[in-house]
Amino acid sequence: MTSPEIASLSWGQMKVKGCSTTYKDCKVWPGGSRTWDWRETGTNHSPGVQPADLEEVVKKGVKTLVIGRGMSEALQVPPSTVDYLKKNGIDVLVLQTEKAVEEYNALAAQGVKVGGVFHSTC
């Protein structure tokens, strides 16, 4: 099961290869993707990405998780979230979303079991 390529990214819109949905924010993992709905976990720009936002992707068996903080990096990622991933043996990259998508796609192309959560606006 390979991680799907992010086919395109622009402000407020992301497309995942093989998926007809256009996402604003999305989660991707080997074999799938879906909308990242912040309301599910009460996520806001601050304090930002919580372990609860990542559990679903972690359970898919990823070895690396890429977090896209938004086009202007407004989305925070607290140290506790990075610690959660490291305690689960997962490498984590926290980047501006355009850079995050580039890195995610490069890892996916290499066959790495990579997942990601991406914020496509601010």
- The answer to whether residue 122 is domain-embedded is no
- The answer to whether residue 53 is domain-embedded is yes
Which CATH number is 100's domain given? 3.40.1230.10
Distances (CA, A) of 90 to 52, 64, 73, 82: 15, 5, 22, 9
- The answer to whether residue 22 is domain-embedded is yes
Count of domains in the chain? 1
Dmax over Cα atoms in the chain, in whole Å? 35
- The answer to whether residue 41 is domain-embedded is yes
CA-CA-CA-CA dihedral for 94, 96, 98, 100, to nearest 10: 0
Model confidence pLDDT, tens digit, residues 41-96: 999 999 999 999 999 999 999 999 999 999 999 999 999 999 999 999 999 999 99
Report the pLDDT value the prediction gives residue 88, as an integer from 0 to 100: 96
The residue segments making up the domain with residue 12 are 4-116
Asked if 5 contacts 16 with a C-beta cutoff of 8 angstroms, the reply is yes
Distance (Å, rounded) from C-alpha 37 to C-alpha 25?
7
Report the pLDDT value the prediction gives residue 43, as an integer from 0 to 100: 95
- The answer to whether residue 83 is domain-embedded is yes
